[in-house]
Amino acid sequence: MTRPLALVTGASAGIGHAFAHGLAQRGYDLVVVARDTARLDALAKELQATHATNVEVITADLLQIVQVETVEARLADGDRPIELLVNNAGFGTIGKFKDLPLDREVQEIELNVIALTRLMHAALPNLLERRAGGVINVSSMASFQPTPGNATYGATKAFVTSLSQGVHEELRGTGVTVMALCPGFTRTEFQQRAGVDSTDIPDFLWQEATTVVDYAMKAFSKGKALCVPGPLNQATAGFSSVMPSTVTRRVAGLIVGRGDK
Ligand SMILES: NC(=O)c1ccc[n+]([C@@H]2O[C@H](COP(=O)([O-])OP(=O)(O)OC[C@H]3O[C@@H](n4cnc5c(N)ncnc54)[C@H](OP(=O)(O)O)[C@@H]3O)[C@@H](O)[C@H]2O)c1
């Protein structure tokens, strides 16, 4: 029997890397996408050795439209269709919007919003034809309130959470699930790439990427529209949903801008 096939963007590190491992363990074959070919090749070799997973490597910079189109074409290919798209590649920028270089803010929107939207759109026809599988869009706890100190990042993730839930509802009854995954602080390369010193964030706020993936896969298998991993994140998301944004945006600003006196 052929194994189900998942495509994971941003599989070379962090949450995407953990998704690749978690999906291989669950019997998926994989298409892994990121810019760093050496890391993707090493991942493919490891998964082939540990789980006999067939892994296809696509090196793509999802900030380059031509390379996004290559991944779109793979998703639209009906010969060996993708059953699960994990739209995970993303990055954040930290600082006051007025001080941040505009080009990088625009790239953040291009990767976190535009590429993600294009890839989900490309994946849906095959999924709908087979009436199975779906898309996990990796959003963030930052999506639940404005996030002064990383305002663009929070706005991109608010888009992802909203789009995912809207499309989830549109697809009700089709057999296809779209889910937003909203992790909180997760131990990956994310903070380092954003140039943030996260040493003062208390240990209890952090999750491992594998924990996030376990929550995600459980929620996805139940057909959920939204996955907020863990009780602490769920309580925080609940707080944001009942409090006015005059309060939540100040709290978020205090957390993000903690070194910014
Ligand atoms: N870590 C957290 O605390 C946290 C919390 C909430 C949400 N998230 C979200 O989780 C997702 C994954 O982040 P992470 O924490 O795992 O970060 P990470 O460890 O920095 O991994 C980011 C991944 O995205 C890939 N990527 C970055 N730019 C890319 C580009 N232009 N084209 C293709 N791939 C690109 C990177 O691969 P290459 O460098 O090889 O291209 C890498 O595999 C992101 O959407 C992030 O917003 C993270």
User: How far does residue 85's CA lie from ligand 1's centre (Å)?
Assistant: 15
- On whether residue 95 sits in a domain, the answer given is yes
- On whether residue 113 sits in a domain, the answer given is yes
Structural domain including 162 reads 5-256
Q: Report whether 252 contacts 146 (CB < 8 A).
A: yes
- On whether residue 117 sits in a domain, the answer given is yes
User: Where residue 219 sits, what CATH number does that domain have?
Assistant: 3.40.50.720
* Structure confidence at residue 258 (pLDDT): 53
* Structure confidence at residue 260 (pLDDT): 40
**pLDDT over 90 for what percent of the chain?**
90
pLDDT, mean over the chain: 95
**What is the distance between the alpha carbons of residues 179 and 135, in angstroms, rounded to a whole number?**
6
Burial class (CB in 10 A: 0-12, 13-18, 19+), 40: buried
The values of phi and psi at residue 178, to 5°, are -115, 130
- What global pTM score does this model have? 0.97
**DSSP-derived pairing of the beta strands 134-138 and 84-87:** parallel
pLDDT bin (cut points 50, 70, 90) of residue 257 is: low
pLDDT bin (cut points 50, 70, 90) of residue 254 is: confident
221 conformational bin, left if phi > 0, alpha if psi -120 to 50, beta if neither: alpha
- On whether residue 40 sits in a domain, the answer given is yes
- On whether residue 67 sits in a domain, the answer given is yes
Q: What is the mean pLDDT of residues 205-216?
A: 97
**What is the distance between the alpha carbons of residues 137 and 88, in angstroms, rounded to a whole number?**
6
**DSSP-derived pairing of the beta strands 177-181 and 134-138:** parallel
- On whether residue 261 sits in a domain, the answer given is no
Other beta carbons within 10 angstroms of residue 41's beta carbon come to 15
Question: Does the beta carbon of 187 lie inside 6 Å of ligand 1?
Answer: no
Say which range, 8-12, 143-147, 183-187, 246-250, has the weakest mean pLDDT. Answer: 246-250
Q: In b/e form, how buried is each residue of 155-175, taking b as 16+ CB within 10 angstroms?
A: bbbbbbbebbbebbeebeeee
Token pair of 86 as six digits: 């994990």
pLDDT in tens, 212-224: 999 999 999 999 9
pLDDT in tens, 60-78: 999 999 999 999 999 999 9
pLDDT bin (cut points 50, 70, 90) of residue 200 is: confident
User: How far does residue 9's CA lie from ligand 1's centre (Å)?
Assistant: 9
Q: What is the mean pLDDT of residues 243-250?
A: 90
* Structure confidence at residue 7 (pLDDT): 98
Q: Report whether 134 contacts 177 (CB < 8 A).
A: yes
- On whether residue 90 sits in a domain, the answer given is yes
* Number of compact structural domains in the chain: 1
Question: Does the beta carbon of 71 lie inside 6 Å of ligand 1?
Answer: no
Instruction: Determine whether 153 is an active site residue.
Output: yes
